[in-house]
């Protein structure tokens, strides 16, 4: 086979093999101000306020929705952007938050839609690991977290 055809064959085969290796994005990000985005934040807010105290607003790092599943990676703050002092929170006073063992007020959540309502089924505040990359959660929430799962 002529050399230029061999190179082309290798490129074509390589492209074909590589196409299956990268999973297609299955999720979308709800737009700012959308009902879905608001519903997801509202579903998590009571959990965050239980530990961090009210009021809490979220800065969205990632927000992914696929069908009736969603994933959020957020940073919690006080209204207007003020930082939350973890040592002055209900969670710290109850002994459920330990600022020395936390990554600040970062929150990750996995949601499921039940009827018309989004429910924050799993969440963590200040996690220092990728807790949601656990096989059972990857199987259930794969469409929104597949790039975290191995």
Question: Tens of pLDDT along 76-118?
Answer: 999 999 999 999 999 999 999 999 999 999 999 999 999 999 9
DSSP string, 10-28: HHHHHHHHHHHHSPPP--B
Q: Label residue 150 by pLDDT band (50, 70, 90).
A: confident
pLDDT of residue 140: 98
Structure confidence by residue, pLDDT tens digits, 48-61 = 999 999 999 999 99
**How large is the average pLDDT for residues 35-47?**
98
**How large is the average pLDDT for residues 1-25?**
44
Cβ neighbour number for residue 66 with a 10 Å cutoff:
17
pLDDT at 15 over 90: no
CATH fold label, 27-148: Nuclear Transport Factor 2; Chain: A, (3.10.450)
pLDDT of residue 23: 56
pTM of the model: 0.83
**How large is the average pLDDT for residues 113-127?**
98
Q: Is the peptide bond before 55 cis (omega within 30 degrees of 0)?
A: yes
Q: Cα–Cα distance between 63 and 34 in angstroms, integer?
A: 12
Would you report the helix, strand and coil content of the chain in percent, each value rounded to 5?
A: 45, 25, 30
pLDDT of residue 11: 39
Sign of the CA dihedral running 94, 96, 101, 107: negative
pLDDT at 1 over 60: no
pLDDT of residue 8: 40
Q: Cα–Cα distance between 10 and 104 in angstroms, integer?
A: 49
pLDDT mean across residues, the chain: 89
């Amino acid at each position: 086979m002529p050399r230029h055809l061999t190179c082309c064959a290798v490129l074509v085969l390589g492209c074909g093999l590589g196409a299956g290796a990268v999973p297609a994005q299955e999720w979308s990000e709800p737009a700012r101000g959308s009902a879905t985005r608001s519903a997801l934040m509202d579903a998590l807010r009571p959990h965050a306020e239980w530990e961090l105290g009210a009021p809490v607003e979220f800065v969205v790092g990632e927000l992914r929705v696929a069908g009736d599943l969603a994933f959020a990676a957020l940073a919690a703050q006080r209204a207007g952007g003020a930082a939350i002092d973890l040592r002055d929170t209900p969670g710290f006073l109850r002994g459920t938050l330990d600022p020395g063992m936390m990554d600040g007020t970062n929150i990750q959540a996995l949601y499921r839609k039940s009827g018309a309502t989004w429910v924050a089924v799993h969440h963590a505040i200040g996690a220092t690991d990728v807790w949601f990359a656990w096989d059972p959660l990857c199987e259930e929430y794969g469409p929104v977290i597949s790039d975290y799962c191995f």
